Amino acid sequence: MRRLRRTDWVRRLVRETRLLPDDLIWPIFVREGGGEPVPVASMPGVFRLSVEGCVEAALRARDLGIPVVALFPFTGTEKRDEFGTEALNAHNLVCRATRAIKKAVPDIGILCDVALDPYTSHGHDGILREGRIVNDESVEILCRQAVVQAEAGCDIIGPSDMMDGRVACIRAALDEAGHGDALIMSYAAKYASAFYGPFRDAVGSNTLLKGDKRTYQMDYGNAEEAVREAEQDIAEGADMIMVKPGLPYLDIVSRLAHEFAMPTFAYQTSGEYAMIMAAAGNGWLEEERAMMESLSAFKRAGAAGVLSYFSPRAAALLAR
């Protein structure tokens, strides 16, 4: 075996999988107002950007060969209410950023999250009634949110809410509104996870969240259930599926990628990013090597690509 590992050229020759800029989706956080990027404390190197800053990020992504940026809004408490009404505002932050990017960088893909958590006063992804997240009423609003986003120019609708039956309803709503070309990348297997903490800081829902999301996001003990989730989303019309978090659920990534032969993506979450950055910041591991190794693991597991906060840095490194 070691003959195949002796030199750099032979290692490159026999390498089975490789990471490309084409595999990367870059999640970016957008905020109101102009001016300089605002750092996210728990995610060193990640910032909340103005709409203008998002356009610059999209240009950078395009130049690096990154095919898609994913947009997430930071929403202050003043724009939040019990029903997440702001999600349906055609001029909300995500819609404005989407329009601005589409205008300036028409050849990059835009992914938008469908879920109410950036807009609800309680930080949940759906509608809360008597202490419970109600399913069908939430789905109705999520469908309208998806149409509003597609209208703004969003190319990929990413339902991350984990309500039952939402993919079918969103597909129907998009088609009916004349957005038959809008893709759906469903968060098919999304686990109730501690690894979303820094993200919730970044979008401003961490301190607001009442309770947890365990009545709709998956239990981390389950793998068979992930297969059922993916099966349903695909039957309902998902074009691509996603597993989230990433590294701690690599078994699920591999299983879904091989079982369904559908483009399967992994989300290297905010918490996974923060872990690597924190350890590297302490000098406990090598940042760049850990970044590339972790991203490449998704490809080896069978993923079509990865959503990662490391995307621009990894793409720049790959271009060298």
Query: Where on the chain is the footprint of ligand PBG (CB under 6 A)?
Result: 113, 115, 117, 125, 160, 196, 199-200, 213, 269-271
Take residue 211 and report the two structure tokens written for it.
Answer: 């309770």
Residue 42: CB minimum distance to ligand PBG, A: 10
Residue 102 bears catalytic tag: no
Residue 8: CB minimum distance to ligand PBG, A: 34
Marked catalytic residue, from 102, 190, 213, 299: 190
Residue 244 bears catalytic tag: yes
Spatial contact of 40 and 46, defined as CB atoms under 8 Å apart: yes
Pick between residue 301 and residue 307 the one whose CB is nearest to ligand PBG. 307
Marked catalytic residue, from 79, 102, 213, 244: 244
Spatial contact of 311 and 61, defined as CB atoms under 8 Å apart: yes
Pick between residue 179 and residue 213 the one whose CB is nearest to ligand PBG. 213
Q: E strands within the chain?
A: 24-30, 38-39, 47-49, 68-73, 109-114, 127-129, 132-134, 156-159, 183-190, 240-244, 264-267, 305-307
Pick between residue 108 and residue 185 the one whose CB is nearest to ligand PBG. 185
Q: Any residues with CB less than 8 A from the CB of 172 and at least 6 apart, and which?
A: 143
Residue 195: CB minimum distance to ligand PBG, A: 6
Residue 268: CB minimum distance to ligand PBG, A: 8
Pick between residue 202 and residue 230 the one whose CB is nearest to ligand PBG. 202
First to last CA, the chain: 29
What backbone torsions phi and psi does residue 201 show, to the nearest 5 degrees? Answer: -60, -50
Residues with a catalytic annotation lie at: 190, 244
